[in-house]
Amino acid sequence: MAPNKKVVVAFSESRGFSKRLADKSGAQYSCLEVEKFPDKETKLRFREGVAGRKVFLVRSLDNPDQKLIEVLLAAHTARDLGADKVVLVAPYLCYMRQDKRFRQGEAVSSRIIAKLFNGCLDGLVTVDPHLHRYKRLNDIFKMKTKRLTAVRPIAEFMRQRVRNPFVFGPDLESFQWAKAVASIMGCKADVLRKQRYDSESVRIEIKKKHELKNKGVVIVDDVVSTGHTMMEVVKDAKRLGARKIYCVCTHGIFAENALQKLRRLGAVVYATNTIKNPVSRIDVTRMISREIR
C-alpha cells in the first residue's frame, strides 16, 4: 500500500494535540525522536520516511527558545530528507508582539524569527496571531500562510455557559475578537482603551457608563500573558456591579501566576488548547485539521 502522502509530526509536548489532528485529518501520525548530546546540544531524528510527502510539524511556540531550535532542525532535516512540502502548524506563534523597536537598541524579534522560518518552511498555519503593526502574516513571512481564528469555538463554548452576557475587548486590537464573539453569542460588546507603560503596568478605563448588574461579563483577548490587562478590566467590571466575570482568550500563556491572580479576583478563566494549561478547555483541533485535510 502506498504510504499516506501527509504526515503529522509531533514534538515531545505536542503529542496529544498532534494525534488528534492526525486522526481528524486522515494524515499519518508520527513523533520525532529528540535527545540531548552530553554537551546539551540537540539530537533529532525522524522515525518515518518523509521523502515525497507533505510534512506537518506541529508545535505551539509558547516558552519558545528551546522549542525554536528543535523546529528549525526538524524543518531543515525534513527538506534534506526530500519532503515534498514542510508546513509548520504553530497554534501559538511566538515573538509576534516584538513588532517594533520599542526602545533604542532593541531587537525586532518577530522579523528575525520570520527570517529563520523563511529559510526552511513552505507553509505556516497559526491561530489568532498577534498582528498589530503588521497587518498580515506575509508582511514578514514569505511562505504560504494561513491565519485561523478561534472566535467560533470560543463563542460556542461561552454561549452554553453564560447567562445574559456582555462582551468587553480590553483594547483596540482585541475588539475584532470581542465583536465577533458577541455577535455569535447574540449580545453587545464594547472596546476599552488601554495604556501599557511596561509589561507589568497597564491602565484601562471603562469610559461609558455600562449597566452591568445581572450581566455575565465576558472579557475576550488573544493572549493572556502576565494577566495585567485582564485584571484591570475585571476590577472595573466588578466596580460596575457585574454578576459574574469570565476571562477568555485564545492563547493562555499565564506567566507569573496570572491564572491564580485572575481567579483570586473572582474571575472564571477559559482558554483554547493552543497552549496546554489547566483551563485550556476550548478545542481548536477540528478547525486546524480542516487545513491539513
Min CB(271)–ligand R5P separation in Å: 12
Nearer CB in complex with ligand R5P: 126/229:
229
202 binds ligand R5P (CB under 6 A): yes
174 binds ligand R5P (CB under 6 A): yes
224 binds ligand R5P (CB under 6 A): yes
Determine the residue type at 246: Y
Scanning the chain, the segments in alpha helix (DSSP H) are 15-25, 64-80, 109-118, 151-159, 175-185, 228-239, 258-264, 285-292
Min CB(174)–ligand R5P separation in Å: 5
Among 18, 30, 60, 229, binds ligand R5P (CB under 6 A): 229
Dist CA 288 CA 93 (whole Å)? 14
Among the listed residues 91, 94, 99, 104, the one whose alpha carbon sits nearest the alpha carbon of residue 58: 91
291 binds ligand R5P (CB under 6 A): no
Min CB(63)–ligand R5P separation in Å: 15
- Active-site positions read 194
DSSP for residue 213: B
Find the helix or strand (DSSP H, E) in which 149 lies: none
Dist CA 284 CA 288 (whole Å)? 6
Nearer CB in complex with ligand R5P: 174/285:
174
Min CB(187)–ligand R5P separation in Å: 21
Beta bridge partners of 33: 45
Among the listed residues 283, 272, 292, the one whose alpha carbon sits nearest the alpha carbon of residue 88: 292
122 binds ligand R5P (CB under 6 A): no
Min CB(229)–ligand R5P separation in Å: 3
Nearer CB in complex with ligand R5P: 118/195:
195
20 binds ligand R5P (CB under 6 A): no
128 binds ligand R5P (CB under 6 A): no
Spatial contact of 194 and 239, defined as CB atoms under 8 Å apart: no
Query: Among the candidate windows 6-14, 65-73, 170-178, 235-243, which touches ligand R5P by CB under 6 A?
Result: 170-178
274 binds ligand R5P (CB under 6 A): no
DSSP for residue 26: T
Among 94, 171, 245, 273, binds ligand R5P (CB under 6 A): 171
Dist CA 175 CA 173 (whole Å)? 5
Nearer CB in complex with ligand R5P: 14/225:
225
Nearer CB in complex with ligand R5P: 81/131:
131
99 binds ligand R5P (CB under 6 A): no
Spatial contact of 49 and 7, defined as CB atoms under 8 Å apart: no
Min CB(180)–ligand R5P separation in Å: 15
Angle (CA) 234 236 241, round 5°: 95
Among the listed residues 88, 100, 43, the one whose alpha carbon sits nearest the alpha carbon of residue 61: 88
Which residues lie near ligand R5P (CB under 6 A)?
A: 170-171, 173-174, 199, 202, 221-229
